[in-house]
Amino acid sequence: MLEKWKLQRIKEALYPKSVAVLGVSDAANNLGTQVVDVLMVEGFPGAIYPVHPRLKNLLGLKVYASLEEIGHPIDLVISGLNAKLTTESVIESCARIGVKGIVCLAGGFKEVGNEGLQYEKKLKEVADKNQIIIFGPNILGVINNDRRLYATFWSFKKGNPPGSVSIVSQSGGTACTMLNDLIDRHVGVNKWVCLGNRTNLEFSDMFHYFADDDDTRVVAAFVEGIEDGRGFMEAARTLSQKKPLVVLKGARSESMSAVASSHTGTMGGTYRIFKDACRQYKILEARNSKDLATVCKALAIAPRPEGTRVAVLTHTAGPSILALDTLIENGCPLARVSEQTLRRIKKMIGEHAPIVLSPNPIDLTGSGLFVDIYPRCVEAVLEDEGVDMVISIYAIHRNFETSARALADLKRRTSKPIIVCIVASREEMSEDERIMQEAGIPVFQAPEDAALAASYLARYNQYMLQGEENERD
Amino acid sequence: MSVIERVRKEGRRTLTEYEAKMILGHRGIPVVRERLAYNQEQCRAAINEIGLPLVMKGCAPEISHKSELGMVMLDIQSEGEAEAAFEKIMKAMPAKTPAVLIQEMVKGKRELVVGLVRDAQFGPTVMFGLGGIFTEILSDVVFRLAPFDKQEALNLIEEIKGRKILDAVRGMEAVDRSLLAHILVSVGEMAVEYPDIMEIDINPFIVSGRIPIAVDALIVLS
């Protein structure tokens, strides 16, 4: 059940004016000290108050003997202290001074057995009573790139650009994989929230929060196990009706269910039901972490299509065949380009070119390398009334100018999604990728990824259309 | 008194096949024509009413694995054969009040399964897929959280890999999808109306012409 105070607290905790860090020491590899270091390295603009009973200074910051001694309002506490201390003293102090949220890093709670479970029960009881939101326990931390808040002991690769994909994950490691993969693809992560044991913060709370978070355009969720499957699905549907949610489920096989339990204290559950419930509740599901990044990238960058019919334009046949295979395997409707459009394209490449154009894929062969021809052909396909989206495949050759700028210009003139697949090394394609993604074209190296991206854009559009239809009924 | 109340009163958790199908039939789910016979006289009356060929099964509260106990006899072609089968099953049954369920032999090559489980995380969930031995071998089944409407049931039906078996194939008629959807919706509604029902397993539905008919069913209470 949705509790309104939680949404308010999540917001306050993710946009703190001040943070206190518990569990620091003068040992360099200490968990709390890492947190202070990361906060400073990432440039948190608010006040940082390290707390330790005896230390005076840490990394150039004044250290306070206790939370109470700080004497200023604290929005967020990041605690590296163990389960016993967290339960017996930290939570009480936080309640006394009116803290909004706690990032609770330590393990040793319900995932380890009965003693831990008792700690966690007590923690939840005091937190709920005082309306304090708890991230964790048993997590890597929380990030809000908007606020430059990196409340974590983990060191991230620099260069997370401003972006609109937000991640909520039961596991910190998987959340890292997702974050790194997106950054590598030039996609910025907006918010990054680890849930761990989910003491009083559930997936459903985060789904409701993200539904109204204007800075989040796409949500990625990694789930291992949940107790209230229905609550999860209901909240997921609420979010999904406003913006795309892509779910990745771990502990899919039966033997992994118990492993999930010792990880975050919840069994994996029946995956087959989870998978089918995603269809029922119209929630996108990714098959693996790589696909998740692919799909989130597409949904974050490309506009929503008006329909679902995809055309593939190329000047090299093989990749287009793999793209079409993937579209078909994912049940994505294929476009059939009209005779008239094919005649237009034929004129552009020259009536004497010895090729026969098929309606999908449209293979321009050698003439596709020319920057004065290729983008015009993409435009002709986009203008076809039977086409809702285009996958445009081209190769980079060092003696030919690429079509990246022309395609970026074209994207600014059209509302239909363009998805580009570049036949080149990651290094060679990097500049083209950046140029086109800024213009709203998601760019991929593998043709299957481009096709998967188009399939999910189409599927999300279908889900939205069905939802809109139901509303009218 | 309802069937479920009576079963409860007798301290049982499992309904007999006959009781299960009474409940299903009540919900507009097509079930095989059948009569319960406690003696030879009732057996003869049932044979006359149902007509040959027949299926005969041992039916009593104590019995759950009829096939394994050799208490299912299929495709009985004559009255003499039927009377012998009746005697044989009655004798073999370790039950206080043994009876034999005499059923029409439904002919059809296609078998489907519909079930209900209460999942620890998702609650009442309806299952649909290929039935008979294929349920176990291919596990071509899909799930829906109950309750759901007819449109959702129609979507569900199209999600099994073997959905083409529901079309007009090899001279067989297309399965009545609307009726199938009604069956799925009904099972989902039962989960909500009877919180007592823990599990329903209707396997197989044999498709006869266009109609899926429940020829075996199991209902377990909490």
Residues with Cβ within 8 Å of A468's Cβ and at least 6 positions away in sequence, in order, are none
CA dist list (Å): B174 to B110, B151, B209: 11, 19, 8
- Chain B hits for A233, Cβ within 8 Å: 122, 145
The residue type of A270 is: T
Specify whether B145 is located in the same domain as B82. Answer: no
What is the distance, to the nearest Å, from the Cα of residue B70 to the centroid of all Cα atoms in its chain? 18
Query: For residues B93 and B74, what is the distance between their CA atoms, to the nearest angstrom?
Result: 17
* pLDDT value for A253: 81
What's the number of domains chain B is made of? 2
Query: For residues A273 and A226, what is the distance between their CA atoms, to the nearest angstrom?
Result: 13
The answer to whether A280 contacts B119, with C-beta atoms less than 8 Å apart, is: no
**Closest C-alpha among A138, A144, A135 to residue A167:** A144
Q: Beta strand pairing status for A149-152 and A141-144?
A: antiparallel
In a domain, B23, yes or no: no
In a domain, B22, yes or no: no
Specify whether B65 is located in the same domain as B124. Answer: no
The pair of structure tokens assigned to A240 is 């999904």
* pLDDT value for A257: 64
- Chain A hits for B123, Cβ within 8 Å: 229-230
**CA atoms lying within 13 Å on the CB side of residue A66:** 10
* CATH code that applies to domain A4-298: 3.40.50.261
Specify whether B216 is located in the same domain as B154. Answer: yes
pLDDT beneath 70: ranges in chain B: 1, 65
Q: Write down the H helix ranges in A187-228.
A: 203-211
pLDDT tens for each residue of A438-453: 999 999 999 999 999 9
Q: Beta partners for B126?
A: B116, B144
Answer left, alpha or beta for residue A390, where phi above 0 means left and psi between -120 and 50 means alpha: beta
Same fold, A4-298 and A303-469: yes
Put the strands of the sheet holding B54-58 in their side by side order.
B34-37, B100-104, B54-58, B72-76
Q: Beta partners for A284?
A: A246
Contact between residue A96 and residue A64 where contact means Cβ atoms under 8 Å apart: no
Distance from CA of B29 to the nearest CA of A (A): 23
Query: For residues B206 and B132, what is the distance between their CA atoms, to the nearest angstrom?
Result: 9
**A to B CB pairs, distance under 8 Å:** 48
Task: Give the sign of the dihedral formed by CA B136, CA B139, CA B145, CA B146.
Answer: negative
* pLDDT value for A130: 97
* pLDDT value for A269: 67
- Chain B hits for A267, Cβ within 8 Å: 120
Nearest to B145 among A226, A269, A280 (CB): A280
The answer to whether A229 contacts B123, with C-beta atoms less than 8 Å apart, is: yes
Give the nearest chain B residue to A232 (CA atoms).
B122
Phi and psi at A226, nearest 5°, equal -140, 145
Specify whether B42 is located in the same domain as B120. Answer: no
Structural element, H or E, at residue A76: strand A76-79
Specify whether B155 is located in the same domain as B202. Answer: yes
Contact between residue B203 and residue B216 where contact means Cβ atoms under 8 Å apart: yes
The residue type of A243 is: K
Specify whether B59 is located in the same domain as B119. Answer: no
Specify whether B98 is located in the same domain as B161. Answer: no
Taking the alpha carbons at both ends of chain A, their separation in whole angstroms is 27
Find the chain B residues whose C-beta atoms sit closer than 8 A to any C-beta of A: 119-123, 125, 141-145, 148, 152, 155-156, 159
Specify whether B91 is located in the same domain as B190. Answer: no
Q: Which CATH number fits domain A303-469: 3.10.150.10, 3.90.1150.10, 3.40.50.10800, 3.40.50.261?
A: 3.40.50.261
Helix count and strand count (H, E) for chain B: 7, 10
Residues with Cβ within 8 Å of A407's Cβ and at least 6 positions away in sequence, in order, are A375, A378, A392, A418, A420, A436, A439, A441
In a domain, B9, yes or no: no
- Chain A hits for B119, Cβ within 8 Å: 229, 269-270, 273
* pLDDT value for A266: 65
Query: For residues A443 and A453, what is the distance between their CA atoms, to the nearest angstrom?
Result: 10
**Closest C-alpha among A186, A167, A183, A164 to residue A175:** A167
Nearest to B120 among A269, A276, A279 (CB): A269
Domain boundary (B71, B88, B104) is at B104
3-state SS assignment for residue A303: coil
pLDDT beneath 50: ranges in chain A: none
The answer to whether B122 contacts A273, with C-beta atoms less than 8 Å apart, is: yes
Contact between residue A28 and residue A20 where contact means Cβ atoms under 8 Å apart: no
DSSP state of B105: -
Residues with Cβ within 8 Å of A88's Cβ and at least 6 positions away in sequence, in order, are none
Residues with Cβ within 8 Å of A413's Cβ and at least 6 positions away in sequence, in order, are none
Specify whether B81 is located in the same domain as B150. Answer: no
Distance from CA of B59 to the nearest CA of A (A): 33
pLDDT tens for each residue of B102-133: 999 999 999 999 999 999 899 999 999 999 88
**Closest C-alpha among A372, A370, A375, A369 to residue A395:** A369
Which residues form the domain of B142? 111-221
Specify whether B37 is located in the same domain as B94. Answer: yes
Give the nearest chain A residue to B159 (CA atoms).
A276
Answer left, alpha or beta for residue A59, where phi above 0 means left and psi between -120 and 50 means alpha: left
Q: Beta partners for A249?
A: A223
Domain boundary (B75, B104, B133) is at B104
Query: Which runs of E-coded beta strand occur in chain B?
Result: 34-37, 54-58, 72-76, 100-104, 111-119, 123-130, 141-145, 197-208, 211-214, 217-221
Q: Beta strand pairing status for B34-37 and A389-395?
A: unpaired
DSSP state of A197: T
Query: What's the ipTM?
Result: 0.89
Query: Which runs of E-coded beta strand occur in A364-445?
Result: 389-395, 418-423, 443-444
**For chain A, which residues make up each domain, given as ranges?**
4-298, 303-469
Specify whether B170 is located in the same domain as B204. Answer: yes
Distance from CA of B8 to the nearest CA of A (A): 29
Specify whether B100 is located in the same domain as B116. Answer: no
Residues with Cβ within 8 Å of A69's Cβ and at least 6 positions away in sequence, in order, are none
The answer to whether A274 contacts B125, with C-beta atoms less than 8 Å apart, is: no
Nearest to A277 among B122, B155, B159 (CB): B122
Distance from CA of A159 to the nearest CA of B (A): 39
CATH of the domain at B125: 3.30.470.20
